[in-house]
Structure 1
């Protein structure tokens, strides 16, 4: 029987998923949404704030992003505003690969969902 390297799961109160999974030096975040505001710029800012907080909880940051997947409810109308908020937030020296698509959302008030993976911070020896 082969062994599996350690898997750390954080934010496990939701019965459906973990908010953070760390495995083999990679931090995976679940898809993040926000419905406390009703416009794309506000939702995107709030989602990216949550991304920062979750990455910090995992001991890493947006400077270590590897991938980003973004789902928009209305790509035709919201892509430009999403990109403006994204570009202001992103570390310009450490851009991840990214995909953005239009998708129906789980609830009508959700305009954007973002999921990222990042390299875990390494300990200096």
Structure 2
């Protein structure tokens, strides 16, 4: 994250998420969230450092597994001003990527056979 405080505002306004912790670990501001039963932490990058969106193909990212079609959730994100891609399909899943204000990738994913 470039700015944890700005990210906290963005996650609140765009995703409806409230942090369970905002503070610092030494010199690094952080915010922690509970998402779908898991924990996610946002760490502010050191001054002058910036991630590039192209790094998303080499980094891990949060995947939330959903039930039911993703089109409704994609539209909700679009309506909230989130940068959202098109719904895509692999052999066993449909998925859509979306990005936070720093370009970090998130994925909503649904097994094509919801009985899996």
TM more than 0.5: no
**TM-score normalised by L of structure 2:** 0.27
Which protein is richer in strand relative to its size?
A: 2
Q: Say which structure is richer in helix.
A: 1
Q: Which has the higher contact order (CA 8 A, sep 6+)?
A: 1
